[in-house]
Structure 1
Protein backbone atom coordinates (compact mmCIF):
# COMPACT_ATOMS: atom_id res chain seq x y z
CA UNK A 1 0.00 0.00 0.00
CA UNK A 2 1.28 3.45 -0.84
CA UNK A 3 0.08 7.01 -0.42
CA UNK A 4 0.58 9.06 -3.56
CA UNK A 5 0.79 8.95 -7.33
CA UNK A 6 1.77 6.10 -9.58
CA UNK A 7 3.79 6.93 -12.70
CA UNK A 8 4.50 4.34 -15.37
CA UNK A 9 7.31 4.59 -17.91
CA UNK A 10 8.49 2.12 -20.52
CA UNK A 11 10.43 0.01 -18.01
CA UNK A 12 9.56 1.40 -14.59
CA UNK A 13 6.82 2.04 -12.09
CA UNK A 14 7.45 5.14 -9.96
CA UNK A 15 5.54 5.18 -6.67
CA UNK A 16 6.03 6.42 -3.11
CA UNK A 17 8.22 4.16 -0.96
CA UNK A 18 6.59 1.40 1.08
CA UNK A 19 7.66 -1.05 3.77
CA UNK A 20 8.16 -3.63 1.03
CA UNK A 21 11.10 -1.57 -0.27
CA UNK A 22 13.05 -1.76 2.98
CA UNK A 23 15.45 -4.64 2.31
CA UNK A 24 16.47 -3.25 -1.10
CA UNK A 25 16.65 0.24 0.45
CA UNK A 26 19.04 -1.09 3.09
CA UNK A 27 21.23 -2.77 0.46
CA UNK A 28 21.31 0.47 -1.57
CA UNK A 29 22.37 2.52 1.47
CA UNK A 30 25.00 -0.06 2.52
CA UNK A 31 26.85 0.01 -0.82
CA UNK A 32 29.96 2.25 -0.63
CA UNK A 33 30.04 2.89 -4.39
CA UNK A 34 26.37 3.80 -4.56
CA UNK A 35 26.53 6.02 -1.48
CA UNK A 36 29.83 7.75 -2.33
CA UNK A 37 28.03 10.93 -3.40
CA UNK A 38 24.82 10.38 -1.43
CA UNK A 39 25.97 11.03 2.11
CA UNK A 40 27.94 7.86 2.76
CA UNK A 41 27.10 4.33 3.83
CA UNK A 42 24.28 3.99 6.35
CA UNK A 43 23.62 1.21 8.83
CA UNK A 44 20.24 -0.53 8.73
CA UNK A 45 18.77 1.60 11.54
CA UNK A 46 19.66 4.86 9.76
CA UNK A 47 18.37 3.51 6.44
CA UNK A 48 15.07 2.73 8.18
CA UNK A 49 14.77 6.33 9.36
CA UNK A 50 15.60 7.54 5.84
CA UNK A 51 12.90 5.37 4.30
CA UNK A 52 10.41 6.62 6.87
CA UNK A 53 11.46 10.23 6.23
CA UNK A 54 10.98 9.78 2.49
CA UNK A 55 7.59 8.11 2.95
CA UNK A 56 6.62 10.74 5.52
CA UNK A 57 7.54 13.58 3.17
CA UNK A 58 4.82 12.35 0.83
CA UNK A 59 2.30 12.80 3.65
CA UNK A 60 3.65 16.11 4.95
CA UNK A 61 4.82 17.86 1.77
CA UNK A 62 2.76 16.08 -0.87
CA UNK A 63 5.89 14.97 -2.74
CA UNK A 64 9.19 13.15 -2.29
CA UNK A 65 11.37 10.79 -4.24
CA UNK A 66 9.70 7.83 -5.86
CA UNK A 67 10.72 4.23 -5.43
CA UNK A 68 11.58 2.84 -8.85
CA UNK A 69 10.21 -0.61 -9.54
CA UNK A 70 11.30 -2.59 -12.58
CA UNK A 71 8.08 -3.45 -14.41
CA UNK A 72 9.17 -6.84 -15.72
CA UNK A 73 10.54 -8.20 -12.43
CA UNK A 74 9.06 -6.09 -9.62
CA UNK A 75 12.58 -5.43 -8.29
CA UNK A 76 13.40 -2.18 -6.49
CA UNK A 77 15.79 -0.21 -8.72
CA UNK A 78 16.42 2.98 -6.74
CA UNK A 79 14.92 6.31 -5.78
CA UNK A 80 14.39 9.32 -8.01
CA UNK A 81 12.19 12.36 -7.82
CA UNK A 82 11.24 15.68 -6.33
CA UNK A 83 12.88 16.53 -3.04
CA UNK A 84 13.05 19.59 -0.82
CA UNK A 85 13.60 18.96 2.86
CA UNK A 86 13.75 21.89 5.25
CA UNK A 87 16.76 24.10 4.55
CA UNK A 88 17.39 22.67 1.06
CA UNK A 89 18.68 25.31 -1.38
CA UNK A 90 15.83 24.88 -3.91
CA UNK A 91 13.38 22.41 -5.41
CA UNK A 92 15.41 19.40 -6.49
CA UNK A 93 14.87 16.38 -8.67
CA UNK A 94 17.47 13.95 -7.42
CA UNK A 95 18.40 10.40 -8.29
CA UNK A 96 20.15 7.27 -7.15
CA UNK A 97 19.93 3.74 -8.50
CA UNK A 98 21.35 0.52 -7.11
CA UNK A 99 24.68 -0.50 -8.54
CA UNK A 100 23.20 -3.53 -10.36
CA UNK A 101 20.96 -1.16 -12.34
CA UNK A 102 23.53 1.59 -13.00
CA UNK A 103 24.34 2.42 -16.60
CA UNK A 104 21.09 1.01 -17.99
CA UNK A 105 19.24 4.30 -18.45
CA UNK A 106 16.89 3.81 -15.50
CA UNK A 107 17.96 7.04 -13.77
CA UNK A 108 17.36 9.02 -16.97
CA UNK A 109 13.98 7.39 -17.61
CA UNK A 110 12.84 8.09 -14.05
CA UNK A 111 14.34 11.61 -13.98
CA UNK A 112 12.42 12.58 -17.14
CA UNK A 113 9.16 11.35 -15.60
CA UNK A 114 10.01 13.13 -12.34
CA UNK A 115 10.86 16.41 -14.09
CA UNK A 116 7.54 16.24 -15.94
CA UNK A 117 5.79 15.55 -12.64
CA UNK A 118 7.55 18.41 -10.85
CA UNK A 119 6.74 20.95 -13.55
CA UNK A 120 3.29 19.77 -14.66
CA UNK A 121 1.74 18.39 -11.46
CA UNK A 122 3.59 20.17 -8.65
CA UNK A 123 3.74 23.44 -10.60
CA UNK A 124 7.42 24.06 -9.93
CA UNK A 125 8.95 26.75 -12.10
CA UNK A 126 12.56 25.68 -11.60
CA UNK A 127 14.45 22.52 -10.67
CA UNK A 128 18.00 21.86 -9.53
CA UNK A 129 20.09 18.74 -9.10
CA UNK A 130 22.66 18.92 -6.29
CA UNK A 131 25.80 17.20 -7.56
CA UNK A 132 29.32 16.72 -6.21
CA UNK A 133 31.77 18.10 -8.82
CA UNK A 134 33.52 14.67 -8.89
CA UNK A 135 30.31 12.76 -9.68
CA UNK A 136 30.82 12.35 -13.44
CA UNK A 137 27.83 10.04 -13.85
CA UNK A 138 25.35 12.48 -12.32
CA UNK A 139 26.88 15.40 -14.20
CA UNK A 140 26.42 13.49 -17.47
CA UNK A 141 22.79 12.76 -16.57
CA UNK A 142 22.13 16.41 -15.65
CA UNK A 143 23.55 17.50 -19.01
CA UNK A 144 21.48 14.87 -20.82
CA UNK A 145 18.39 16.31 -19.12
CA UNK A 146 19.37 19.77 -20.39
CA UNK A 147 20.45 21.20 -17.04
CA UNK A 148 23.40 23.55 -16.71
CA UNK A 149 25.82 24.10 -13.85
CA UNK A 150 24.70 27.17 -11.92
CA UNK A 151 27.65 27.03 -9.55
CA UNK A 152 28.32 26.08 -5.97
CA UNK A 153 25.51 25.76 -3.46
CA UNK A 154 25.18 24.74 0.19
CA UNK A 155 23.07 22.05 1.76
CA UNK A 156 21.84 22.15 5.36
CA UNK A 157 23.47 20.22 8.21
CA UNK A 158 24.73 17.55 8.38
CA UNK A 159 25.78 17.98 4.72
CA UNK A 160 26.73 21.69 4.98
CA UNK A 161 30.44 21.07 4.42
CA UNK A 162 29.99 19.04 1.22
CA UNK A 163 31.29 20.59 -1.99
CA UNK A 164 28.31 20.55 -4.36
CA UNK A 165 27.05 22.40 -7.40
CA UNK A 166 23.47 23.18 -8.36
CA UNK A 167 22.70 22.03 -11.86
CA UNK A 168 19.29 23.10 -13.09
CA UNK A 169 16.81 24.56 -15.50
CA UNK A 170 13.50 26.35 -15.59
CA UNK A 171 10.16 24.82 -16.51
CA UNK A 172 10.20 26.88 -19.71
CA UNK A 173 13.63 25.53 -20.68
CA UNK A 174 12.46 21.98 -19.96
CA UNK A 175 9.30 22.34 -22.03
CA UNK A 176 11.15 23.99 -24.93
CA UNK A 177 13.77 21.26 -24.98
CA UNK A 178 11.19 18.50 -24.82
CA UNK A 179 9.16 20.03 -27.64
CA UNK A 180 12.26 20.20 -29.84
CA UNK A 181 12.38 23.99 -29.96
CA UNK A 182 15.93 24.01 -28.61
CA UNK A 183 18.81 21.59 -28.79
Structure 2
Protein backbone atom coordinates (compact mmCIF):
# COMPACT_ATOMS: atom_id res chain seq x y z
CA UNK A 1 0.00 0.00 0.00
CA UNK A 2 2.94 2.36 0.52
CA UNK A 3 1.28 4.89 2.89
CA UNK A 4 3.99 4.59 5.53
CA UNK A 5 7.08 2.67 6.55
CA UNK A 6 7.44 -0.84 7.85
CA UNK A 7 9.53 -1.26 10.99
CA UNK A 8 10.91 -4.54 12.27
CA UNK A 9 12.00 -5.62 15.71
CA UNK A 10 13.35 -8.97 16.79
CA UNK A 11 9.86 -10.49 17.01
CA UNK A 12 7.49 -7.99 15.39
CA UNK A 13 6.66 -6.32 12.11
CA UNK A 14 5.08 -2.86 12.45
CA UNK A 15 3.33 -1.72 9.27
CA UNK A 16 0.51 0.63 8.32
CA UNK A 17 -2.94 -0.94 8.70
CA UNK A 18 -4.49 -2.77 5.74
CA UNK A 19 -7.98 -3.90 4.82
CA UNK A 20 -7.19 -7.47 5.84
CA UNK A 21 -6.58 -6.25 9.40
CA UNK A 22 -10.28 -5.47 9.83
CA UNK A 23 -11.39 -8.93 11.04
CA UNK A 24 -8.70 -9.34 13.74
CA UNK A 25 -9.12 -5.67 14.71
CA UNK A 26 -12.84 -6.39 15.20
CA UNK A 27 -12.03 -9.40 17.36
CA UNK A 28 -9.74 -7.29 19.55
CA UNK A 29 -12.31 -4.48 19.83
CA UNK A 30 -15.06 -6.97 20.77
CA UNK A 31 -13.07 -8.25 23.77
CA UNK A 32 -14.26 -6.26 26.80
CA UNK A 33 -11.13 -7.09 28.84
CA UNK A 34 -8.80 -5.93 26.07
CA UNK A 35 -10.80 -2.75 25.51
CA UNK A 36 -11.35 -1.96 29.22
CA UNK A 37 -8.88 0.95 29.13
CA UNK A 38 -9.25 1.73 25.41
CA UNK A 39 -12.76 3.14 25.32
CA UNK A 40 -14.74 -0.06 25.90
CA UNK A 41 -15.76 -2.91 23.61
CA UNK A 42 -16.87 -1.85 20.16
CA UNK A 43 -18.77 -3.48 17.35
CA UNK A 44 -17.63 -3.65 13.74
CA UNK A 45 -19.19 -0.28 12.84
CA UNK A 46 -17.06 1.70 15.32
CA UNK A 47 -14.06 -0.54 14.68
CA UNK A 48 -14.26 0.29 10.96
CA UNK A 49 -14.20 4.00 11.82
CA UNK A 50 -11.23 3.47 14.13
CA UNK A 51 -9.29 1.51 11.51
CA UNK A 52 -10.07 4.09 8.83
CA UNK A 53 -9.20 6.99 11.16
CA UNK A 54 -5.81 5.50 11.98
CA UNK A 55 -5.17 4.64 8.35
CA UNK A 56 -6.29 8.10 7.20
CA UNK A 57 -3.93 9.76 9.68
CA UNK A 58 -1.05 8.34 7.62
CA UNK A 59 -2.25 10.52 4.75
CA UNK A 60 -3.24 13.60 6.76
CA UNK A 61 -0.45 13.64 9.39
CA UNK A 62 2.22 11.50 7.77
CA UNK A 63 2.18 9.08 10.71
CA UNK A 64 -0.19 6.91 12.70
CA UNK A 65 -0.37 3.71 14.64
CA UNK A 66 1.03 0.59 13.01
CA UNK A 67 -0.57 -2.80 12.77
CA UNK A 68 1.52 -5.20 14.85
CA UNK A 69 2.32 -8.53 13.22
CA UNK A 70 3.93 -11.36 15.15
CA UNK A 71 6.87 -12.49 12.97
CA UNK A 72 6.80 -16.15 14.04
CA UNK A 73 3.15 -16.66 13.03
CA UNK A 74 2.29 -13.77 10.67
CA UNK A 75 -0.67 -13.03 12.96
CA UNK A 76 -2.08 -9.51 13.50
CA UNK A 77 -1.86 -8.98 17.28
CA UNK A 78 -2.73 -5.31 17.77
CA UNK A 79 -1.88 -1.74 16.97
CA UNK A 80 0.66 0.68 18.38
CA UNK A 81 2.69 3.70 17.47
CA UNK A 82 2.61 7.45 17.01
CA UNK A 83 -0.78 9.07 17.53
CA UNK A 84 -1.96 12.67 17.77
CA UNK A 85 -5.63 13.20 16.90
CA UNK A 86 -7.02 16.71 16.95
CA UNK A 87 -7.19 17.99 20.55
CA UNK A 88 -4.85 15.29 21.92
CA UNK A 89 -2.67 16.34 24.89
CA UNK A 90 0.60 15.76 23.03
CA UNK A 91 2.61 13.56 20.70
CA UNK A 92 1.79 10.07 21.88
CA UNK A 93 3.16 6.62 21.26
CA UNK A 94 0.38 4.34 22.40
CA UNK A 95 -0.38 0.63 22.29
CA UNK A 96 -3.28 -1.77 22.31
CA UNK A 97 -2.64 -5.48 21.89
CA UNK A 98 -4.98 -8.44 21.74
CA UNK A 99 -5.12 -10.90 24.60
CA UNK A 100 -2.90 -13.47 22.81
CA UNK A 101 -0.04 -10.94 22.88
CA UNK A 102 -0.24 -10.10 26.58
CA UNK A 103 2.67 -10.90 28.88
CA UNK A 104 5.22 -11.42 26.09
CA UNK A 105 6.91 -8.01 26.16
CA UNK A 106 5.50 -7.11 22.74
CA UNK A 107 4.10 -3.74 23.87
CA UNK A 108 7.50 -2.62 25.17
CA UNK A 109 9.35 -4.00 22.15
CA UNK A 110 7.03 -2.43 19.60
CA UNK A 111 6.63 0.87 21.45
CA UNK A 112 10.43 1.23 21.70
CA UNK A 113 10.72 0.91 17.91
CA UNK A 114 7.86 3.38 17.44
CA UNK A 115 9.43 5.85 19.89
CA UNK A 116 12.74 5.64 18.05
CA UNK A 117 10.88 6.29 14.78
CA UNK A 118 8.96 9.24 16.31
CA UNK A 119 12.14 10.89 17.57
CA UNK A 120 14.58 10.06 14.75
CA UNK A 121 12.25 10.28 11.74
CA UNK A 122 9.32 12.46 12.80
CA UNK A 123 11.49 14.81 14.86
CA UNK A 124 9.28 14.71 17.95
CA UNK A 125 10.72 16.47 20.99
CA UNK A 126 8.44 14.78 23.54
CA UNK A 127 6.68 11.44 23.63
CA UNK A 128 3.72 10.86 25.91
CA UNK A 129 1.53 7.91 26.83
CA UNK A 130 -2.03 8.66 28.02
CA UNK A 131 -2.96 5.99 30.55
CA UNK A 132 -5.93 5.60 32.86
CA UNK A 133 -4.55 5.37 36.44
CA UNK A 134 -5.98 1.88 37.02
CA UNK A 135 -4.23 0.47 33.91
CA UNK A 136 -1.28 -0.97 35.81
CA UNK A 137 0.00 -3.05 32.87
CA UNK A 138 0.35 0.01 30.64
CA UNK A 139 1.97 2.01 33.43
CA UNK A 140 4.57 -0.77 33.72
CA UNK A 141 5.18 -0.64 29.95
CA UNK A 142 5.64 3.14 30.09
CA UNK A 143 8.08 2.81 32.98
CA UNK A 144 10.04 0.05 31.20
CA UNK A 145 10.40 2.49 28.30
CA UNK A 146 11.89 5.06 30.67
CA UNK A 147 8.82 7.29 30.82
CA UNK A 148 7.67 8.86 34.06
CA UNK A 149 4.47 10.47 35.28
CA UNK A 150 4.38 14.04 33.93
CA UNK A 151 0.88 15.37 34.56
CA UNK A 152 -2.84 14.57 34.70
CA UNK A 153 -5.25 15.67 31.96
CA UNK A 154 -8.96 15.35 31.41
CA UNK A 155 -9.79 12.80 28.74
CA UNK A 156 -10.82 14.24 25.39
CA UNK A 157 -13.89 13.35 23.31
CA UNK A 158 -15.06 10.70 22.80
CA UNK A 159 -13.51 9.59 26.12
CA UNK A 160 -14.67 12.52 28.27
CA UNK A 161 -15.47 12.07 31.93
CA UNK A 162 -12.20 10.51 33.08
CA UNK A 163 -8.67 11.68 33.85
CA UNK A 164 -5.55 10.31 32.17
CA UNK A 165 -2.15 10.06 33.76
CA UNK A 166 0.29 11.34 31.16
CA UNK A 167 3.58 9.50 31.23
CA UNK A 168 6.40 10.54 28.96
CA UNK A 169 9.88 11.76 28.30
CA UNK A 170 11.82 14.14 26.10
CA UNK A 171 13.46 13.04 22.88
CA UNK A 172 16.78 13.84 24.52
CA UNK A 173 16.06 11.43 27.38
CA UNK A 174 14.93 8.73 24.92
CA UNK A 175 18.06 9.07 22.78
CA UNK A 176 20.32 9.00 25.86
CA UNK A 177 18.59 5.82 27.03
CA UNK A 178 18.83 4.21 23.58
CA UNK A 179 22.55 5.06 23.44
CA UNK A 180 23.12 3.27 26.78
CA UNK A 181 21.12 0.20 25.83
Q: If the length of structure 2 is used for normalisation, what is the TM-score?
A: 0.97
Aligned partner of 1:77 in structure 2 is 77
Q: Distance in 2 between matches of 1:96 and 1:106?
A: 10
Report how far residue 160 of structure 1 moved. Answer: 2.3
Aligned partner of 1:128 in structure 2 is 128
Aligned partner of 1:149 in structure 2 is 149
Q: Distance in 2 between matches of 1:29 and 1:177?
A: 33
Aligned partner of 1:61 in structure 2 is 61
**Contact 2:155–2:163 under 8 Å retained in 1:** no
Report how far residue 155 of structure 1 moved. Answer: 3.1
Q: Distance in 1 between matches of 2:34 and 2:22?
A: 16
Q: Distance in 2 between matches of 1:141 and 1:55?
A: 25
Per-residue deviation, residues 48-101 of structure 1 (Å, max 9, x unmatched): 111011100001110000000111211001101000000001000000110011
Instruction: Give ranges in structure 2 of 5+ residues lacking alignment.
Output: none
Q: How does 1:96-175 map to 2 (within 5 A)?
A: 96-175=96-175
Greater than 6 Å deviation, 4+ residue runs: none
**Counterpart of 1:164 in 2: which secondary structure?**
strand
- Structure 1's 76 and 2: CA in aligned 2 closer, same or farther, altered over 3 A? farther
Report how far residue 178 of structure 1 moved. Answer: 1.7
Q: Which moved further from structure 2: 171-180 or 45-54? A: 171-180
**Counterpart of 1:59 in 2: which secondary structure?**
helix
Q: Distance in 1 between matches of 2:7 and 2:90?
A: 23
Alpha-carbon RMSD:
1.1
Q: Distance in 1 between matches of 2:114 and 2:104?
A: 17
Q: Distance in 1 between matches of 2:22 and 2:2?
A: 13
Report how far residue 154 of structure 1 moved. Answer: 2.4
Aligned residue pair count: 181
Is 1:86 equivalent to 2:86 in the alignment? yes
**Contact 1:87–1:155 under 8 Å retained in 2:** no
Q: If the length of structure 1 is used for normalisation, what is the TM-score?
A: 0.96
**Counterpart of 1:112 in 2: which secondary structure?**
helix
